[in-house]
A and B are shown apart, each in its own frame.
Chain A
Amino acid sequence: MSGFLELAISGLMSGLVIGLAALALTLVFGVARFANAATGDFMTCGAYAALLGFGATGSMVVGGAVGLAAGALVGMVSYLLVFRTLEGRPSVSALLASIGIGFVIRAVLGVVYGHGQQVFQLPLVRPWRVYDLRIQPNDLKIGITALVALLVVFLVLHATPIGRRMRAVADDPMLARVSGIAPRQVMLALWALSGAVAALAGVLLGIKTVVSPEMGWEMLIPVFAAAVLGGIGHPVGAILAGVLLGVLQEIATPYVGFTYKLALAFVILLAVLLVRPKGLFGRVEGVR
């Protein structure tokens, strides 16, 4: 039983990481109306930048901040160089472009850092024992960080002027323009936010596992599955679905084996698309 619970806790942690990345995906989708396939690679950028920051200072907090900043920057640069010029074209153009951006990021990271795996050299900490449950202090920190990040994103969206404008543009871009809302500022903010959230997911994933140029790309299927399951364009849904998916994957591991736990994400993705395309929490899409 305790083994089962430990799997569930570990699933919760990876679920929060998936949920964060799904949030990054869904944020962009809600406003820009396409699935950004480079989301995983934004994660990877964040992880490598955090490695740099951590290596230079030895502080994981500084490392994390550098990672967040790098993610925000990559998001904004992608928008300014690529997605801005594709606005108004069919969304498949933006989707294909995002796949391309992902390739470029992976290639650059591969050339600079090689394809080997790197780790955050964090000191080993003895796990806490709660009854006969082992809890890794790092897991707890990862979980808390993820929850704080979610809270911040939620507050930005619902309690700040820029968040209000993001939601306004998501609802009706044309009405936003004739209300004098400049789309440029809103989109820049959106891409910065999405990039930073993805980067944080990457940093947390890197701490939990290893950092490699393909780490984020390989997460893309569960991240897509979570975004779709949560109802695409729905931030809270993305998180909850991510957690659900993470826990399911971990709990299923003893039964289906490590290799096939990823297949679970595929199955869920397919099932949702076939049975309930709106997702669990989806609303009828407000595309006019």
Chain B
Amino acid sequence: MTLAIQGLTKAYGGLHVVNDVRFEVPSGALVGVIGPNGAGKSTLFSLITGFLAADAGDVSFEGRSLGRASPMERARAGMVRTFQVPREFSHLTVRENLLAAAPGQSGERLIDTFFRPGRVKAEEAAIAREAAETIDFLRLAKVADVPAGRLSGGQKKLVELGRALMTGARMILLDEPFAGVNPVLIEELSVRIRELNGRGIGFLIIEHDLAALNKLVSTLHVMDRGVLIASGAPAEVLGNPRVRDAYLGGAAA
């Protein structure tokens, strides 16, 4: 019952941006992927979430191969992503942003809206409760009924997390969640992520900011020039000379 990255490979004109990357994220784990700029992290993320088609390799989640699945199918399978530059339904309120992501409603169909209003209403009440709890959990109550487009970048990251939660995701993939977020909110985000992880939700976090990540995750994978160069507990990985080399090389470039 894991997310398995099985030999993902992507090349552009003979240059391997991601080369035979393989690792697993056990269900309920908190795993990070780091690497200097140009290491292939973002490409790997796009391959896992289906935004790019892999040249070789597969992604499987809970035993199901998703290598050919569309981003939507992957989301519906329980594996939901967020975006580095947060995206939101900008004209919808924060609450509506969360409600829109709740799956499997009869209200998906216009005909039920008119001819089975009772059922639609009952389901709506259930997801409204869930959305209210999620909003409280993320400390977004003050802005719950504000159009999401008016929120700060950090708040939008929280909304993204909330949207992912509302889909019922069992694995949340975060694309540089700490980029452009102030230190106070980084701490806040980290606390929420840890709490959610405590409830059994798995996280795969791709991040450039080492400091924020190594306190958070239990396992760290390091990428450089398209390949995994180290994997393990954060302290051990960060002591690895190859990792230091890669980071210094990356910073100097």
User: Which A residues lie at the B interface, using CB under 8 A?
Assistant: 156, 160-162, 164-165, 167-168, 170-172, 174-183, 185-186, 188-189, 192-193, 283, 286
Whether B167 contacts A161 by the Cβ 8 Å rule is no
Q: How far is the CB of B179 from chain A (nearest CB, A)?
A: 18
Known: A175-B89, A189-B109. 8 other contacts (CB 8 A): A161-B99, A161-B108, A164-B96, A168-B92, A168-B96, A179-B167, A181-B72, A185-B108
Q: Which B residues are in CB contact (< 8 Å) with A183?
A: 72
Q: How far is the CB of B112 from chain A (nearest CB, A)?
A: 8
Check: B225 CB closer than 8 A to any chain A CB: no
Q: How large is the interface on B (under 10, 10 to 19, 20 to 34, 35 or more residues)?
A: 20 to 34
Check: B65 CB closer than 8 A to any chain A CB: no
Summed over the interface, the residue pairs from A and B with CB atoms below 8 Å come to a total of: 92
Whether A167 contacts B103 by the Cβ 8 Å rule is no
Q: Which A residues are in CB contact (< 8 Å) with B240?
A: none
Q: How far is the CB of B164 from chain A (nearest CB, A)?
A: 8
Whether A164 contacts B80 by the Cβ 8 Å rule is no
Which DSSP category, helix, strand, loop or mixed, fits chain A's interface? Answer: helix
From B70, B91, B109, contact of A185 by CB (8 A) = B109
1/0 per position for B34-75, CB-CB distance to A under 8 A?
A: 000000000000000100000000000000000000111001
Whether A172 contacts B120 by the Cβ 8 Å rule is no
Check: B101 CB closer than 8 A to any chain A CB: yes
Whether A178 contacts B75 by the Cβ 8 Å rule is yes
Check: B88 CB closer than 8 A to any chain A CB: yes
User: Complex formed: what's the CA distance from A174 to B72 in Å?
Assistant: 9
User: Complex formed: what's the CA distance from A174 to B110 in Å?
Assistant: 21
Nearest A residue to B93 via CB reads: A164
Whether B167 contacts A180 by the Cβ 8 Å rule is yes
Q: Which A residues are in CB contact (< 8 Å) with B49?
A: 178
Check: B113 CB closer than 8 A to any chain A CB: yes
Whether A177 contacts B108 by the Cβ 8 Å rule is no
User: Complex formed: what's the CA distance from A183 to B70 in Å?
Assistant: 13
Whether B110 contacts A188 by the Cβ 8 Å rule is yes
Check: B130 CB closer than 8 A to any chain A CB: no
Whether A171 contacts B110 by the Cβ 8 Å rule is no
Nearest B residue to A288 via CB reads: B87
Whether A180 contacts B99 by the Cβ 8 Å rule is no
Q: Which B residues are in CB contact (< 8 Å) with A168?
A: 89, 92, 96-97, 100
Q: Which A residues are in CB contact (< 8 Å) with B123?
A: 161
Whether B75 contacts A171 by the Cβ 8 Å rule is no
Given A164-B96, A180-B75, A180-B101: A175 in contact with B88 (beta carbons within 8 A) = yes
